[in-house]
């Protein structure tokens, strides 16, 4: 990791820049694929599956038999682990349900808010070198709790045309209604426009590489909502002398192994801690099967020495990490002052891996600084808030004149007339 000591605030923008391509670098590619999928449907999806996944598919749809067979390929212990994680995720997300909000804003004026599920949602599940079946739990569980009627899952196949059994088992367990063997830009395009096999959805969820992230942003131009611009994974750890350097290094590597474009940052008020973590990184890297990937990510990453906790908090909020681990003597200070983070992990025994899998919180989180304005996925992500109102004759008499005056002041006579006619009728009755 690159070491930086006491950087000036003027250098923070450059220092905290993510190692990602800009949208303009890949937007042309995404637009071209979108255009082809819109016009060509399944045939284009299959073409790109050959190009990017190296396999020719007769059908994009995963069959019921494939889903049943998958359970036999997943060990009993892994099935139990998935079920434990599902239970905890359900508990946490079920607790997020809110009741109808009803208020009498004026005598005779009743206003209320109710939530309704988004009827059709699409889940993108990365495959490739790390098939993220855990992401299915994070998306399909709250989608089912919300009451979404159609839950479509897209994930890339392997070179034999198969989907990882753990993905299929988890999807079946979580009530996914349709699974398709399609990944990358073309999957997002398929769910945006709809094809012969892929249903068009109203909102797309799930992480992915930079191409998938841009594809999701392009989808919003075609009337489809997205959860957030979730791109390459990132982690920031604050560690003072109370931290365990081996634990800190393991957390940094847990994110670095996601992909070569991942970024991890260590912020510390202790130079000794930075040096100890660096030694641990070197030792632990040797044992990792994904060593080459993690090493490349570490090259894009930084250890930053900051002289005091207040300045450290300012720098961390300026970065807005996707994942933020706090290992500090005065952890309450850092908790109370965090303003921008996707998900926060507190204490030496709270690894980020817990949130990725089984603690119950959601791991689909805003990256690339979007934690400054986006929330991570939660139950409400799969719902819409709808407002209702019912006004009695007494109510329109109470607020009618105010509406008339405001409408007239804005030059909207028809708005005023809609109230005036009702007031005249009521006055005649009275």
Q: Is 322 a catalytic residue?
A: yes
Annotation-wise, does 209 bind a ligand?
A: yes
Strand partners, 265: 236, 302
**What is the Cα–Cα distance from 347 to 331, expressed in whole angstroms?**
8
Q: Is 234 a catalytic residue?
A: no
Annotation-wise, does 258 bind a ligand?
A: yes
Annotation-wise, does 124 bind a ligand?
A: yes
Annotation-wise, does 332 bind a ligand?
A: no
The dihedral over CA atoms of 386, 364, 370, 113, expressed in degrees to the nearest 10, equals 10
List 322, 363, 404, 425, catalytic entry: 322
List 93, 280, 323, 352, catalytic entry: 323
Annotation-wise, does 363 bind a ligand?
A: no
Q: What is the 3-state secondary structure (H, E, C) of the chain?
A: CEEEECCCHHHHHHHCCCCCCCHHHHHHHHHHHHHHHHHHCHHHHHHHHHHHHCCCCCCCECCHHHHHHHHHHCCHHHHHHHHHHHHHHHHHHHCCCCCCEEEEEECCEEEEEEEEECCEEEEECCCCCCCCHHHHHHHHHHHHHHCCCEEEEEECCCCCCCCCHHHHHHHHHCCCCEEEECCHHHHHHHHHHCCCCCCCCCEEECCCCHHHHHHHHHHHHHCCEECCCCCCCEEEEEECCCCCHHHHHHHHHHHHCCCCCCEEEEEECCHHHHHHHHHHHHHHHCCCCCHHHHHHHHHCCEEEECCCHHHHHHHHHHHCCCEEEEECCCHHHHHHHCCCCCEEEECCCCCHHHHHHCCCCCCCCCCCCHHHCCCCCCHHHHEEEEEEEEECHHHHHHHHHHHHHHHHHCCCHHHHHHHHHHHHHHHHHC
258, 301 Cβ separation under 8 angstroms: no
What are the strands of the beta sheet with 225-226, ordered from one edge? Answer: 178-181, 150-155, 120-124, 203-205, 225-226
Annotation-wise, does 186 bind a ligand?
A: yes
**Known binding-site residue numbers for NAD(+):** 124, 186, 209
Residues marked as catalytic: 322-323
**Known binding-site residue numbers for Zn(2+):** 255, 258, 356, 415
**Known binding-site residue numbers for substrate:** 233, 255, 258, 323, 356, 410, 415
**Known binding-site residue numbers:** 124, 186, 209, 233, 255, 258, 323, 356, 410, 415
């Amino acid at each position: 990791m690159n070491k930086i000591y006491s950087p000036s605030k003027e250098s923070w923008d450059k220092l905290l820049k993510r190692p990602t391509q800009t949208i303009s670098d890949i937007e042309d590619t995404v637009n071209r694929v979108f255009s082809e999928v819109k016009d060509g449907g399944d045939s284009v999806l299959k073409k790109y599956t050959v190009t990017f996944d190296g396999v020719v598919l007769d059908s994009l749809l995963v069959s019921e038999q494939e889903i049943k067979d998958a359970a036999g390929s997943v060990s009993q212990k892994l099935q139990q682990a998935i079920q434990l994680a599902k239970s905890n995720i359900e508990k946490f997300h079920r607790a997020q349900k809110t009741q109808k909000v009803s208020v009498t804003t004026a005598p005779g004026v009743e206003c209320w808010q109710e939530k309704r599920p988004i009827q059709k949602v699409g889940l993108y599940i990365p495959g490739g070198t790390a098939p993220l079946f855990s992401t299915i739990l994070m998306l399909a569980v709250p989608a089912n709790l919300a009451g979404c009627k159609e839950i479509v899952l897209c994930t890339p196949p392997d070179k034999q045309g198969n989907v990882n059994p753990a993905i299929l088992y988890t999807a079946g367990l979580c009530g996914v209604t349709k699974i398709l063997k399609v990944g990358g830009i073309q999957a997002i395009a398929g769910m945006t426009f709809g094809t012969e096999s892929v249903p068009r959805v109203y909102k797309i969820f799930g992480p992915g590489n930079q191409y998938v992230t841009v594809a999701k942003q392009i989808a919003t131009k075609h009337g489809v909502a997205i959860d957030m611009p979730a791109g390459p994974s990132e982690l920031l750890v604050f560690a003072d002398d109370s931290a365990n350097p081996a634990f800190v290094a393991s957390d940094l590597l847990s994110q670095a192994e996601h992909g070569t474009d991942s970024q991890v940052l260590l912020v510390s008020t202790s130079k000794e801690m930075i040096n100890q973590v660096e030694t641990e990184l070197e030792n632990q890297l040797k044992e990792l099967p994904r060593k080459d990937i993690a090493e490349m990510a570490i090259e894009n990453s930084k250890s930053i020495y900051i002289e005091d906790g207040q300045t450290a908090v300012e720098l961390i909020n300026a970065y807005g990490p996707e994942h933020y681990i706090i290992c500090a003597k005065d952890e309450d200070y850092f908790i109370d002052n965090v303003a921008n983070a996707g998900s926060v992990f507190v204490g030496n025994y709270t690894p980020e891996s817990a949130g990725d899998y089984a603690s119950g919180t959601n791991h689909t989180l805003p990256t690339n600084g979007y934690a400054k304005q986006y929330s991570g996925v939660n139950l409400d992500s799969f719902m819409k808030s709808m407002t209702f109102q019912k006004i009695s004759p007494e109510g329109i008499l109470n607020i009618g004149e105010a509406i008339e005056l405001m409408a007239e002041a804005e030059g909207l006579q028809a708005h005023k007339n809609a109230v005036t006619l009702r007031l005249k009728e009521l006055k005649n009755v009275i």
